[in-house]
Structure 1
Amino acid sequence: MSADPRAASPPRSTTSPPPGGSRASAVEVRRSARRRRTVSAYREGDRTVVLIPARMSEAEEQRWVGVMLDKLAAQESKRLLGDTELAERARRLSAQYFDGRALPLTVRWVTNQNTRWGSCTPSEGSIRLSHRLQGMPEYVVDYVLLHELAHLLVPGHGPDFWRLLEAYPRTERARGYLEGVVAAERLPFRPPATDT
């Protein structure tokens, strides 16, 4: 998603907060009359720069900003996090969404969890995430981590549990993503049709 920033001569530029709490603190949209159809994005310090055609409507701009932020997040999450980075991420999420009350003793990736995205043993303070999450968008991994962190505070999936997760703005989107993955895995394999 990187592009050469010199390729665009931005006649108009807007800066806005990113939707859904992306890591970057701001999004800058640069419009270019020379750009006809392509949209690209790259990180520049603490901001994300999205390059779009000048003729694009405001609605198209908003849609493409969301698409490009998701693509960048997916690329970044493909850089595999080790257990140490995963534990640090869990601590940051606990501090941000649960006032630091959810304190796991261990957070690690596991390869023996193929029917669950994550699991938690509150009595041991341990959280395990399925290796199948590696490479998924950052907001999805964050949601699963938060889900398991919430179990350190509230056992089960009652109303108090779901109230905790309401603080994370991408809960529904992440759940939809994971439901889509499960649905796709259940589809029967059909080899591609060949032209004869």
Structure 2
Amino acid sequence: MTANNLPAPYPVEVRRSARRRRTVSVDLRDGVAVVSIPASFSARQEKQWVERMVAKLHANSQRPAHSESGLSDRASELSKQYLVGRGMPTSIRWVTNQNSRWGSATPASGAIRLSHKLQGMPDWVIDYVILHEMAHLIEPTHNATFWSLLKSYPHTETAKAFLLGAAYAADHGLSGR
């Protein structure tokens, strides 16, 4: 199913589940809005819920924290809070050509690129990736100095685990539903 007359510019995939009874969820996966619904929903219910959930996904993706200027503002806040004002990127942007990394940094130019696959993930995970890449602007390698820069962020270990789980699920075609 593609997005016809839907409020957001995403192709849509509907997944019906016999295990679902009442819950509906939406996730953005590789630019596709995946809407999971109970198998018992009628066509009318499906249409209503798909429109509602895709609109919600679209609204969430338009939050200022996820815009390019919002990313810069967020990086500034995170730098002040966790890196004593250090590691500020000269540019930070979403990219669609990173398939094996969540983010990358170029210390020489100060540029940070974030995979669009992070969009739709919890803010604390995105914040971790931003901090991780800003730490690379200070210390390019994953040595003890690098990891000490991230120790004050309270979600470091949880975010790393979340991203490992997300990567494993994506690599193995798992949807978590």
Q: How does the TM-score come out when normalised to structure 1?
A: 0.56
| Residue in 2 that maps onto 1:184 | 169
- Is 2:109 aligned against 1:118? no
Deviations 1:137-178 (A, max 9, x none): 000000000000001111110011011111100000001100
| Residue in 2 that maps onto 1:132 | 117
- How many residues end up aligned between the 2 structures? 118
User: 1:189 & 1:151 partners in 2: Cα distance?
Assistant: 31
User: 1:189 & 1:122 partners in 2: Cα distance?
Assistant: 35
Structure 1 vs Structure 2 CA RMSD:
2.4
| Residue in 2 that maps onto 1:151 | 136
Q: Is the 8 A contact 1:77 1:136 kept in 2?
A: no
Partner SS for 2:159? helix
User: 1:77 & 1:128 partners in 2: Cα distance?
Assistant: 20
| TM superposition shift of 1:183 | 1.0
Q: Is the 8 A contact 1:77 1:134 kept in 2?
A: no
- Is 2:152 aligned against 1:167? yes
Larger Rg: 1
Amino acid at match of 2:139: V
User: 1:169 & 1:175 partners in 2: Cα distance?
Assistant: 12
Partner SS for 2:99? coil
Q: How does the TM-score come out when normalised to structure 2?
A: 0.62
Partner SS for 1:102? coil
Q: Is the 8 A contact 1:79 1:135 kept in 2?
A: no
| TM superposition shift of 1:186 | 2.2
Q: Is the 8 A contact 1:117 1:132 kept in 2?
A: yes
Partner SS for 1:169? coil
User: 1:139 & 1:188 partners in 2: Cα distance?
Assistant: 24
Shift in alpha-carbon separation, 1:163–1:139, aligned structure 2, 3 A: same
Q: Is the 8 A contact 1:76 1:138 kept in 2?
A: no
User: 2:151 & 2:172 partners in 1: Cα distance?
Assistant: 31
User: 1:182 & 1:103 partners in 2: Cα distance?
Assistant: 27
User: 2:149 & 2:125 partners in 1: Cα distance?
Assistant: 17
User: 1:176 & 1:76 partners in 2: Cα distance?
Assistant: 27
Where does the alignment leave 5 or more consecutive residues of structure 1 unmatched?
1-73
Amino acid at match of 1:180: G
User: 1:75 & 1:140 partners in 2: Cα distance?
Assistant: 19
Where does the alignment leave 5 or more consecutive residues of structure 2 unmatched?
1-56
Shift in alpha-carbon separation, 1:187–1:98, aligned structure 2, 3 A: same
User: 1:86 & 1:129 partners in 2: Cα distance?
Assistant: 10
